[in-house]
Structure 1
Amino acid sequence: MTGALYMVAMVPRSVVELPKAHLHLHFTGSMRVSTVRELAEQHGMRLPQAFTTQWPPKLSGTDERGWFRFQRLYDAARACVRGEADMRRIVREAAEDDAAEGSRWLELQVDPTSYAPFVGGITPALEIVLDEARAASAATGTAVAVVVAASRMRHPLEARTLARLAARHAGEGAGTVVGFGLSNDERRGMTSDFAPAFRIAARAGLASVPHAGELLGADHVAVALEHLLPHRLGHGVRAAEDPAVLHRVVREQVTLEVCPTSNVSLGVYPTLADVPLRRLLEAGARVALGADDPLLFGSRLVDQYESARRDQGLDDEALARLARGSIEGSLAPPELRRRLLEDVGTWLARPPGR
C-alpha cells in the first residue's frame, strides 16, 4: 500500500545453530523423562510423582533435607537402569539430543559403580558406555567422549580404583575416557583425600574435572585448585564471591562449567538473572555452559544459552564467547577444536534474520 510503513523485526541468531561443546552432563541425569518412565514400566518399578505428574520436580539443595530429596529422586531414576540395553539407550539418546541442539562434542560423565551389578562389574559397565559412545558418535555426528567420576559419598580408595579403570581406557576422541571427575554433594568428604586418585588419572593423561563451587563457596574452589589441580571445575560459579579466587581461576585458565538452571533449582541463586555469569565473563574467566541433569532440572543445553541471552542480557558476541569457551575448555582433539572454533566465527559473521 502506498505510503504505508512496515516495521521489520530482527530475528536473533539461532543458538541451536551455534556450534558448541557440552562439558557438564551426567549419565543418569541426561535421561529424557519419557525414557525413565518407559524403563520404570518395563522393569515393573514405581516412580515418584516428580517424574510422572509433577515433572520437573521442585528442588532445593541448600540444606540437608533438600539435598536428600534431590538425591532420592536421582537414585530412583538410576534404579530404573537395569542392564546393557538401558545403558546403551541413555548414551544414544544423549548424543541425539545434543546433536539436535548444535552440540558437536559431548563429554558424558559416568560413575560405572552404579550399574556394575547388572552387567558383571565396573569394567564391563564402562566398556558398554564407551562402545555405545563410539556408535552414537558415528550415527549422530556429535562426538561423545566419557568422563569417569568418583563419588564423594564413597571411600577415597574407591576413587583410586575408578581412576585406574579410567586410565586403562584413556584416549583422545570419541569413545574414549578423557577426564576424571568427583561429583555428588561437595559438602561431604575431604577434597584432599581424593588427590591420590587424581594423580593416578593425571599420570594417564586424563584431565582433572572435579565439581566444586556450587553448594560451597569460593573457599572450596580454592581447596579444589590446591589439591586436585583442575583443568576445569564442575560449576565453580561461586568463585565470583572472592576476587582473589576468581583471579586465580582466570590466571590458571581453569574453565568453569556453569549450569545456571541447576544453580537456581538447587537454591544457590533465587533467579536465573542472579547467576553471576556476567561477573565471571567480565573478570576474564573461560566459561562453558552445561545442562548438568536435564531429567531433574527440566532444561537442556540450549536453554542455558537462551537464558544467557534473556536473563543476563548477553549479545551474540558474548554467546559466541561462551561457545568458544566450551570448545577451548573441552578435551576434543585439536583438529576438531579448530574446526568448531572456525564454525563459531561463521555463525557470528552471519547477519541476523528478519
Structure 2
Amino acid sequence: MPLKAELHCHIEGAASPDLVIRQARKYGADPSPFIRDGAFVWHDFTSFLAAYDFSAGLFRSEEDYALLADHYLTALARDGAIYSEIFISPDHAARAGLSPKAYADALGEGIARAGARTGIEGRMIVVGLRHVGVEAIEKAARFAARCGNPRVTGFGVAGDERTGEMEDYVRAFEIAREAGLGITIHAGELTGWETVAAALDHIRPSRIGHGVRAIENPDLVRRIADQGIVLECCPGSNIALNVFADFASHPFPALKAAGCKVTLNSDDPPYFRTSLAREYAIAADHFGLNEKALAAVTRTAIEAAFVDRRTKAALLARLNTKR
C-alpha cells in the first residue's frame, strides 16, 4: 500500500456519519433527515448544503473541534497517510460562537493528538468563502497572517465559484503572501477553465483547488504545466457533483500526461462516499496508476505542501524509506 498525503479537505466536511450521530446525541439533535444507514443523504447541491450545515452545526466547542481533527487525521493515518492539510474557516468559528483563534487552536490540538498517536503530520489552511463576501475574505486573510498558530501555514478562497471575481481577492492574497503563507484557491470545478486562468492572472497561486476544468483549454493546460502549478484533484467529489459524468471522462490522466503536477484528495469525503484511500484506489482502477505512479503523486503532494523545510525533508525521507 503506497503512503499517502492530502492537500485538499474541508474539515467540517470530513466529519464521519458516526461522529455526527454522536454529536447529535450530545446536543439533542435529530440526524435522521440527513443520515440513513450510516451514510449522508442528499440528492442535489441544495440538499448537500443542508446536510453539511446540519453536521457542521454540531461542532460548537473547542473540544468538539479538537475531536473532529483528531478523528479525521487518525482515520487518514490508518489508511496510510503521513501528511494532511485541512481547510478551516473563521466563518464556521463565528457560527459556533468561538473566536477564530480558539477554533484554530482547538483544531491544532486535535492534529497534535493524532500526530502523537500515529505519526501523521498536519497543517491548516485558512479559507475565506466567496459567497460570504470580499470583506470577510480579507478579514480571514488578516487572521491567518496574525494568528500565530504554527500549524496555520496557508491561505485560500473556497465557497461558491459562481460568486465574485478573482480580482476582488487580490488584496486578501497580498496580506497572506506578505505573511509568508502558502497560496491556493478553488477554481475550475463548478465553473469552466476561465476561473483557473483568472486565478493564475490575478492571484498567482502555487496550487489550484480542483482546477480540472482547465482541460477545456489546451493552452491553459500547457501554462499550468510550464509554471509548475499543482492541481489539488478530487475525482470522487467531481463525479458525485456531476462535474464529469464518470471516471472514464475525468481529465486526471490527460492532465498528468500533459505534464501537470496532480495530487489526489477527498474534499468532503463522507458526503461523496469516498476517502483518501478510495481516491488512490480510483487512480489505480480507473486511471491506470501503478504503485510507483501513486507514490509519485504522494511525492508531488509533499513537495507542494505548505510546511517548513525540515518537516518536508522528514516526510520525503519516509517516502524514500518505503521504496
TM-score normalised over the length of structure 2: 0.94
Q: TM-score, normalised by structure 1?
A: 0.86
Q: CA deviation at 1:268?
A: 0.7
Mean Cα deviation higher: 336-345 or 22-31: 336-345
Whole-angstrom CA distance in 1 between matches of 2:6 and 2:174: 25
Looking at secondary structure, tell me which structure has more helix per residue.
2
Paired with 2:63 and 2:215, the residues of 1 have a C-alpha distance of 42
Q: What residue in structure 2 maps to residue 44 of structure 1?
A: 28
Greater CA drift, 84-93 or 48-57? 48-57
Partner of 2:127: 149
Over the matched positions of the two proteins, sequence identity in percent amounts to 32
The CA distance in 2 between the partners of 1:338 and 1:123, in whole Å, is 29
1:21 and 1:330 in contact (8 A); partners too: no
Match of residue 142 from structure 2: 164
1:185 aligns with 2:160: yes
Cα deviation 1:140-197 (Å, max 9, x = unaligned): 21111110000011121111111111011367xxx51111011112111222211111
Residues 9-158 of structure 1 correspond to what in structure 2 (within 5 A)?
A: 14=1, 18-53=2-37, 55-59=39-43, 66-158=44-136
Counterpart of 2:297 in structure 1 is 322
Return the alpha-carbon distance in structure 1 between the equivalents of residues 138 and 234 of structure 2. Answer: 27
Deviation at 1:342, TM superposition (A): 4.1
Q: Deviations over 1:305-336 (max 9, x none)?
A: 10111011222232122111111111233233
Q: CA deviation at 1:219?
A: 1.1
Q: Which residue of 2 aligns with 1:248?
A: 223
Residue 278 of structure 2 corresponds to: 303
- In the alignment, the residues of structure 2 paired with residue 132 and residue 317 of structure 1 have an alpha-carbon distance, to the nearest angstrom, of 32
Selected match of 1:286 from 242, 254, 261? 261
Bigger CA drift: 211-220 or 50-59? Answer: 50-59
Kindly tell me: are residues 182 and 344 of structure 1, through their superposed partners in 2, closer, same or farther at Cα, counting changes over 3 Å?
same
**Structure 2 residue 202 is the aligned partner of structure 1 residue 218:** no
Note if contact 1:170-1:206 (Cα within 8 Å) is conserved in structure 2.
no
- Distance, in Å, in 1 between the alignment partners of 2:22 and 2:110 is 20
2:182 — aligned with what?
207
How many pairs does the alignment contain? 323
Question: 1:256-295 CA distances to partner (integer Å, 9 max, x unpaired)?
Answer: 0000100000001111232111101111111110011112
Distance 2:283 2:321 in 1: 20
One-letter amino acid matched to 1:159: I
Query: In structure 2, what is the Cα distance between the partners aligned to 1:57 and 1:30?
Result: 15
Q: Could you list the runs of 4 or more consecutive aligned residues of structure 1 that deviate by over 6 angstroms after TM superposition?
A: none
Structure 2 counterpart SS, 1:216: coil
Q: Give the CA deviation at 1:127.
A: 2.3
Contact 2:170 2:202 in 1 (8 A): yes
CA distance in 1 between partners of 2:132 and 2:98 (Å):
20
SS of corresponding position for 1:129: helix
Within 2, Cα distance between the matches of 1:242 and 1:341?
33
| Coordinate RMSD, CA, aligned | 1.8
**5+ residue gaps, structure 1:** 1-13, 60-65, 349-354
